[in-house]
Amino acid sequence: MPTRRETLKSAAAFAAAGAWPLSLRPARSPSPAEAGTGAQAESAAGADEAYSLFDFEPLAKAKMSHAAWEYVNGAAADEITVRWNREGFNRIRLMPRALVDVSKLDCRVNLLGQEMPFPILLAPTASHKATHPDGELATARAAGSCGATMVLSTLSNTSVEEVVRATKSPVWFQLYVQHDREFTRELVKRAVAAGCKALCLTVDTPISGARNREQRAKLALPPGVGYPQLTGLKIPDDPSLHLARLESSIFSSLLSADLTWKEVAWLQSFAGVPLLLKGILNPADADRAVKEGVAGIIVSNHGGRNLDTAPATIDALPGVAEKVAGRIPILMDGGIRRGTDVLKALALGATAVQIGRPYVYGLGAAGEAGVARVLRILQQEFEMAMALIGRPRIRDIDRSVLWPAT
């Protein structure tokens, strides 16, 4: 029987020989251009010791300002929905099949004609420069090196043109419709001209939620940092990041409380790229979305940041999937932290998932290298889940992977 010392030695040799599963290692060394502003060098700053998405949270918290941490980590009101997002996944048990050949795993998906190496996208999150000075460029480079699609927020601190140039992976654009509809039309055209491959219209945010931690922390953007997508927009009020101020009005100058299905049809009339609706929970809305001809929907509760006590997205997904009945692809986000969560979402009807906070924590902890590591860990965990459940191909993942409810 090997001694503990021998076991440790052989583990070290195994690692040194590069025998750890492939996807945690970069696919190849980044070029100097891709390596950017020293982001790779940051990989030594603790993120190398992160082995799960949860490991990034303390690392990010230690590096980020208190206000930025509260902004990213916080959610609406009593933060019940954000907790449910996790609890929903934890409640679902899995039913493995034994003696299946899983020596070859294929986790590629085709989404809206786009081939993706794995079914995980980066959800739109605002203001990356509040988290790391390299901001959205670091995120885009990491998405590029991992083959992930990044959905860029309207409220990014880097222009859509620069972001698209920084990555060889596709970029989608998330739209907050502005009060000035002509400005909105030009913004969409600008994003499409820059090369964005799809438009995600956020429909769950006519106003912001009661984000009390964000309100208390009073986050302000670093000097000189702004919202390049909103340049030229006439805003009656200073567009500070601190959207949920306690003002006389709950309405925001950056969000359209009068957004309806009319704008969905309007956007489709000129967008020229597939339109997805982000923030659908209600099956009736999903049905309407299909009838309006949208290309896809994203089941999301905005990471619990808007309507507190709305259900967990993994609990909302089956009803939506039943209504949609395969007519258009469904994405989902909210609480995805483990490869088994991705598996569960696919089993319940999603074609792909998005992650929000986890990659922002990766960005805060170690810039580009941190975001890339978050993506690789989740991809690898998903591959592990496929192998251990006995489903080597995505198309084999269905409800049969779920342990029946008792």
Options 278, 323, 338, 373; binder of ligand FMN; rule CB under 6 A: 278
Among 129, 141, 211, 357, binds ligand FMN (CB under 6 A): 357
Residues contacting 131, CB < 8 A, separation 6+: 60, 64, 68, 72, 360, 363, 364
Our answer to whether residue 302 is catalytic in this structure is yes
Task: Report the site for ligand FMN in 106-125 (rule: CB under 6 A).
Answer: 123-125
Contacts of 205 (CB under 8 A, 6+ apart): 176, 255, 279, 302, 306
CA dihedral of 97, 100, 102, 106, whole degrees rounded to 10: -80
Residue 155 found at the interface with ligand FMN (CB under 6 A): yes
Q: Which of residues 1-60 bind ligand FMN (CB under 6 A)?
A: none
Q: Which of 204, 188, 207 is nearest to 196 (CA)?
A: 188
Total number of residues binding ligand FMN (CB under 6 A)? 24
Residue nearest to ligand FMN (CB): 356
Q: Does 149 bind ligand FMN (CB under 6 A)?
A: no
Kindly state the tokens that stand for 162.
């620069």
Assess contact for 213 and 243: CB atoms under 8 A: no
Catalytic option among 128, 132, 179, 302? 302
DSSP code of residue 23: G
Told to check if 317 binds ligand FMN by CB under 6 A, we report: no
- Rule CB under 6 A: say whether 351 interacts with ligand FMN: no
> What is the spatial distance between Cα 228 and Cα 163, in angstroms, rounded to a whole number?
11
Counting contacts by CB under 6 A, is residue 88 touching ligand FMN? no
DSSP-based three-state secondary structure for 51: coil
Supply the minimum distance, in Å, between the C-beta of residue 161 and ligand FMN: 18
Please tell me whether residue 139 binds ligand FMN under the rule CB under 6 A. Answer: no
184 touches ligand FMN by CB under 6 A? no
Report if residue 334 touches ligand FMN, rule: CB under 6 A: yes
> Which H/E stretch holds residue 109?
strand 109-111
Q: How far apart are CA 360 and CA 299, in angstroms?
A: 20
Q: Which of 241, 255, 345, 355 binds ligand FMN (CB under 6 A)?
A: 355
Which span sits near ligand FMN by CB under 6 A: 5-13, 26-34, 268-276, 354-362? 354-362
User: Is beta strand 352-355 parallel, antiparallel or unpaired with respect to 150-152?
Assistant: unpaired
CB of 73: closest distance to ligand FMN in angstroms? Answer: 8
**Residue closer to ligand FMN (CB basis): 34 or 281:** 281
Considering the complex, state which of residue 355 and residue 365 has its C-beta at the smaller distance from ligand FMN.
355
Greatest Cα pair distance, the chain, in angstroms, is: 74
What residue type is assigned to position 199 of the chain?
L
Using rule CB under 6 A, residue 153 touches ligand FMN: yes
Binder of ligand FMN out of 121, 192, 316, 336 (CB under 6 A): 336
Q: Does 256 bind ligand FMN (CB under 6 A)?
A: no
Assigned token pair, 23: 């996807």
- Give whichever of 199 and 384 is closer to ligand FMN, judged by the CB atom: 199
Q: Which of 379, 377, 372, 207 is nearest to 305 (CA)?
A: 207
DSSP per-residue letters across 118-160? SSEEE---S-GGGT-TTHHHHHHHHHHHHTPPEEE-TT-SS-H
Does position 344 bind ligand FMN by CB under 6 A? no
Paired with 106 in beta bridges are 393
State which residue, 35 or 235, has the beta carbon closest to ligand FMN: 235
State the residues that interact with ligand FMN by CB under 6 A: 71-72, 85, 123-126, 153, 155, 174, 202, 278, 300, 302-303, 305, 333-336, 355-357, 360
The residues carrying an active-site annotation are 302
